Structure 1
């Protein structure tokens, strides 16, 4: 058997996992176009439908995949239930802020939040998990802080949308890390959104009493798009979960930049949002930070690969 043949069984899952990650980040990157197509629906109505329809999707998917027993085991563990509720609150904040940003002409500022997110994740590792940072990681955090400072000075205000998106998703990832592999992606998403059903229902009642529900009032096409919110939400999350079980995390980490890059391009080139000099400088500093962080990650992977007795791809399947 040749070396290529021997490497085949391991290489194939990594390639498939990379493809899953690519499609997941591609879909997330195109989200602004989808959500803008939902106008005149407002962000509060859209996020409510997004929660409720994601629950519906999860119920159907769990039934088809016969996953109710697995979900039942999770429900009987108070710790996992509590963490899933916390994850639900964080993802609700993230979705709401993102929809407000997208539907009010702040797609570029939202993209900045997802550029900053990997750096926030590293920072949370230090502050919460007491991890020790390498010098290049500290440098990346420094560049990110400088970027926020430049934007604040240039605009005269904090980029709250960017920071809320970065930290809400960063803490969401931290909670998911604490949950660990004991909760599969579909069951986790079902529980997180199920906790939010009362909130989403209340929001729809409030929207109905104030501006009015838009389902069925803006044409068949709009109604179909809005009713697809559950599928649109769940599919990239499930693809991402499948990717992380197959592909090396270094590959998944590199591909994550596809999402904010696409959002940035959509905001600047298609929606023609404002990009003054201070915003360009801020984004440039963030991109430098991400390049530094990527180089550090690749160096760490190479060192782990070269270390005796360590095979970084042994568990990708």
Structure 2
């Protein structure tokens, strides 16, 4: 056996795995109601194995009002009833392993659904309460608080703040939603939020999940004081050319160091991959340091000109940066958030 093959054999499974992403709602419908489900995935495991798939990545399968394709999570420790039950999920995990494949799930830590029990409790609670501290509530500006706390805009357009009606029936505080209005941002300065997501992680690892894909992994932590942005930079685009006080903050790495310890406490090379829309490669490398996550998507190819010299430059920079931290490169040409590359390139 050559040294190259030997080293590949010794690598953790995720280094060379062919991973198949499944949007559960449209993948396979086992009960004939027109909606994909967990049992539908289970029935296709032999087919996926025949294709040469090593791991399946299931996009959010949690209870959700579906305002954002399941990325508005109402309960992180259960399964959307239209998709099946927790018992169905456990059976799928077991049989995926029996077919010699791994199973990865999405974790959505930047925000929840507005139907999450915590957010519903926050709406009923008073300003300054522990319930509101789980999210990012602020008083508005102006004499009557009629203006949002700052000028941030949401990824999906419009103001990133929504005002609530308080218990007395009057307009009150505002909450932050960097995505849809139905997706309030968690307050990751809250110890309760951090502990809750550690429990979520353990909940699924205990059931045999092999890895997690972290949605908006560069989010979560906001710059202290939530400062206004210059008018030309106030939008929340995912891969921004300028620094943003809501993306890629240093504090997020403390979270991932804790999560890595949890992952490493389980057998079988459990792993995490970051959906971190950050640039340049030197900043991506910070997410995959030895004590943080195992891998991160590199989205720079989505904005690179389709010219050999530009592509080579991005590749060379990525490899050089990742070698410094001992992590593998990973380039994204397509995903479910962007127009397919065949339509972007000419």
TM-score by length of 2: 0.27
Larger relative strand fraction: 2
* Highest RCO, 1 vs 2 (Cα 8 Å, sep ≥ 6): 1
TM-score by length of 1: 0.29
